[in-house]
């Protein structure tokens, strides 16, 4: 069974951080970066769940919703990876474990980005 705990933990931590940021920090770039990551994770999940179909775009629900959007997109990817690993429905270009590792890496990169670290210091 695929252990998706690292992705779930990283997504939850970053989503909580985004939820706790003041409006000024969200405006300085943290919200935009969080939304971009949420969209990327949603696209990854959609490519796993519906290979060959063009993923839809996660709408911008506003800066105060970005933490929740990231959490939902991340959890959707976790479930897509679990299902792919259990049922062999992985995209031919990436095994679930490789996709998981890439997603964890990406979430951690964003968490360490300038916008997020600068915002956390405020």
34's CB contacts (< 8 A; 6+ apart) are 14, 18, 66, 67, 69, 70, 110
In the chain, beta strands by DSSP E: none
**pTM higher than 0.85 for the full model?**
yes
| Predicted pLDDT of residue 115 | 75
**86-109 residue pLDDT tens:** 886 444 435 889 999 999 999 999
| Predicted pLDDT of residue 90 | 45
Rounded Cα gap, residues 42 and 35, in angstroms: 10
* Percent of the chain surpassing pLDDT 90: 78
Tokens of 71: 């959490």
* Whole-number CA gyration radius for the chain: 14
Inform me whether the pLDDT recorded for 32 exceeds 80.
yes
Count of residues in the chain: 122
Query: Domain-by-domain residue ranges, the chain?
Result: 5-121
């Amino acid at each position: 069974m695929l252990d998706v705990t690292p992705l779930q933990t990283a997504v939850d931590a970053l989503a909580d951080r985004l939820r706790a940021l003041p409006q000024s920090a969200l405006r300085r770039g943290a919200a935009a970066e969080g939304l971009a990551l949420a969209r990327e994770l949603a696209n990854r999940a959609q490519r796993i769940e519906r290979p060959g179909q063009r993923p839809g775009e996660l709408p911008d629900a506003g800066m105060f919703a970005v933490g929740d959007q990231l959490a939902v997109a991340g959890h959707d990817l976790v479930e897509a990876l679990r299902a792919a690993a259990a049922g062999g429905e992985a995209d031919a270009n990436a095994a679930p474990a490789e996709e998981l590792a890439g997603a964890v890496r990406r979430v951690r990169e964003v968490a360490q980005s300038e916008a997020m670290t600068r915002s956390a210091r405020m």
